[in-house]
Amino acid sequence: MRIVVSERAKRNRDKIAHYIMRQFGKITFMEFCEAYKNTKRTIANHPESCPIDYDLSDGNHEYRFTFINGLSKLVYRIVDDEYIFIVDMWDVRLEPPSMIKL
């Protein structure tokens, strides 16, 4: 299944990646990048394998989530069995972003 990443998710992914590079170095940064790619591959092949996030899901959309290296939460939804839309991601050590009109 095809994956589309929101601009918000891209910005937050880049913030997380830059933070990892600054704080932990190139090796950890490369591990994060590889884990992100693997996560995308996994959800593309098995989109319903990740749990539903009932705090975010509403009557209109069902949001699912997974973790990247245990420290970054990635939230996505399946759109009409056509593609996966990655809505957002953030470092779980920080407060989650306000989710307005995902």
**Does the pLDDT at position 11 exceed 60?**
yes
pLDDT of 92 reads: 87
Q: List strands edge to edge, sheet with 83-91.
A: 2-5, 83-91, 72-79, 63-68
Q: Domains for the chain: give ranges and CATH numbers.
A: 2-91 (3.30.2310.20)
Neighbours of 64 (CB within 10 A): 21
Residue-wise pLDDT tens digits, 42-95: 999 999 999 999 888 888 899 999 999 988 999 999 999 899 999 999 988 776
CA 99, 94, 55, 57 dihedral sign is: positive
This prediction has a pTM of: 0.87
